[in-house]
Amino acid sequence: MTYYVIYDGNCNLCVTLVQLLENLDRGRQFQYIPMQDEEGLSRLKITAQDCEMGMILVNANFPEQRWQGSDAAEEIGRLLPMGEVFVKAYRALPGMKWTGDRVYEQVRDNRYALFGKRESTYQPAYPACPSESCRL
C-alpha cells in the first residue's frame, strides 16, 4: 500500500521530519508532495486552503481516504513498523489526543517563527508523481 505525504516544503521542521521518514521508509510505503507543488495537489483535488490545516496523508489506492494534521501524523506513526503499539498507547492515555491536537495546531500555526523557513522548497527523494504518467 502506498501513501502520499503532503507537507510544507518550506518549513524546516516539516522537511526534517520528511527526511527522517524518507530514511526510515526508503519509499516503500510513503511518497511525498510538497504543499508548494500546485500541479501535484491538483491531481489529488487538494487546494492551498486545504493545506492550511496541516499535513495531509492520502491513501494512493483510495484517494478519498485521507487524514490531516495530527491525525495524519498518528496514521503515519501507526503504519511504521511497531508504530501501532505506540499510537495505541498514546491514544489510550486520558487527554493525550486532545493535548496532541492542540500542540500540533500551535506548531502548525507558528512553524516558521519556531523553526524557520527555507529559502527554497525541499524536493523529496521519493516524490509521489515523478512523471506525467502519474495514475491519479
Q: What would the pLDDT profile of 89-132 be if each residue is shown by its tens digit? A: 999 999 999 999 999 999 999 999 999 999 999 999 999 964 44
Average the pLDDT over 78-91 and give the result.
Answer: 92
**What pTM was estimated for this model as a whole?**
0.90
Average the pLDDT over 12-33 and give the result.
Answer: 96
Q: In the structure, what pLDDT confidence band is assigned to residue 134 with cuts at 50, 70 and 90?
A: low
How many residues make up the chain in this entry? 136
- With residue 107 as reference, give the H or E element that holds it: helix 96-115
Residues 6+ apart with CB under 8 A from 123: 9, 34
Average the pLDDT over 19-28 and give the result.
Answer: 96
Q: Specify the pairing of strand 56-59 against strand 3-7.
A: antiparallel
Q: How far apart are CA 6 and CA 66, in angstroms?
A: 11
> Can you give the pLDDT at residue 136?
46
Q: Please report, as a single letter, which amino acid is at residue 92.
A: A
> Can you give the pLDDT at residue 1?
86
Q: How far apart are CA 70 and CA 86, in angstroms?
A: 15
Phi, psi for residue 33 in degrees, rounded to 5: -135, 120
